[in-house]
Each structure stands twice: as structure tokens, then as C-alpha cells.
Amino acid sequence: MAPGLTRSVPPGIVPGVELITNDRLDDLERELIGRVRGRVLEIGAGDGENFGAFHPDVTWTGLEPDSGRRTELATRAREWRHASTPLDATAEHIPLPDASVDAVVGTYVLCSVTDVAAAVAEVRRVLVPGGRVVFVDHVAAPRGTLKRVVQNVATPISTWLDHGCHWNRDPEPELAAAGFTGADVRRLRVRSMPFGPVPVLLYEGVAPAPVE
């Protein structure tokens, strides 16, 4: 590049945000989920796609409001030797006592809950002080980008057809407002066609510790 010139960046693109493949994203998800230990609650557990990523020593509890997915989840939970029956509940109303789990995991869940702030508040309630959270979600693209326009147009359709999924959400502000501190927070772009890379948030955080 000639002296005095700078490389142009498309409007709304954040310089330095890594562009990765879906296979690489899968690897990063598994590595993040594999870090949690102890009593683990997985919200929006679907049909159990994450079982292979959990450390074998965790005590797993799953929450899944969709009856069809929950039936498959129960079957796969038994196959993975998890004793608990998946809970029929939403993330906004978790039927567990306060401070009853050591970690909460959710992959592509906060995009689809009805109330992000309420769900995150429930997650904090059931976590022990200093407990861990792991969330992976596709998130809103920067304002002013074609991707953000596409997300805004697609969201009314995706919420109807895809289990309430909002393509134009970003849960990180709600996590911060609930008191979580990010321990490992990564924003990536995942290759996708035809509308370009999908912004993804990988978030490992810590719940507030008790006041001394």
C-alpha cells in the first residue's frame, strides 16, 4: 500500500473481526462448553446436540419448552447416562431453586426467548455466586450494513417460522446489566451465503460473587 494511504473498510464492518467457517465455529463451541463443571443447567437444550461437548463429570439438567424436542432430548440424555428428566419450562421461568447450579449453558437460545432480560435474570438467580455462564448466539450485525438490513427484514419471518428466533438481537448488554462479567468474549463472523457472513457471539461469563 502506498505511503499515506489507508485500506478502505466497508461501511459498518468492524475491522479485525475474525472470519471463520462453520466447522471452526463448531470446534470453538465444543471447547467453550467443555469448560463447565459441576451442576450444569442447559437452557433451550433442543434435542441434545451438545451432549458430546460436556465434560463427562458434569451433573446435567436440561430445559426445553418444545415437546417434540424434549422427547428426543430425554432419549438422548439417557443414552449419555444423565439421570435427570428434561424440564418442561422456558428460560424466563426456570423451575429450580436459587443458587442451585454451578453453570448455565445456552446455544442459540437468547435469540429466541420472549424476554432476554427476564431470562438472564433467571439464569443469575439459579446460579451460585461466582457461577459460570456459556452462551453462543448469532447476533445483530453493525448498524448501517446490508447484513443488518437483511436481519431486520427477516426477523418477523424467522420469529414465526423458527421457534421465535430473532436475527437482529444482541444479548451482551443484558448480560452486563444483570451483573455478569465477561471472562472470554469473542465476536466472530461465520461464512454464509448469499447475504454474507453471520455475526456470532461466544460468551463465557461469571456471575457476581457474594459481597464480603
Domains in the chain, start-ordered, CATH in brackets? 22-138+167-188+201-206 (3.40.50.150)
Please compute, for residue 2, the number of CA atoms within 13 A of its CA located in the half-sphere on the CB side. Answer: 1
- pLDDT tens, position by position, for the chain (212 residues)? 433 333 333 434 445 589 999 999 999 999 999 999 999 999 999 999 999 999 999 999 999 999 999 999 999 999 999 999 999 999 999 999 999 999 999 999 999 899 999 999 999 999 999 999 999 998 988 888 877 778 778 767 776 666 768 778 899 999 999 999 999 999 999 998 877 788 999 999 999 987 55
User: C-alpha grid cell for residue 71?
Assistant: 422427547
Contact at 8 Å (CB) between 74 and 86?
Answer: yes
User: C-alpha grid cell for residue 36?
Assistant: 463447565
Strand runs labelled E in 29-76: 39-43, 59-63
Distances (CA, A) of 60 to 43, 52, 63, 79, 187: 11, 12, 10, 13, 27
Check: pTM over 0.85? Answer yes or no: yes
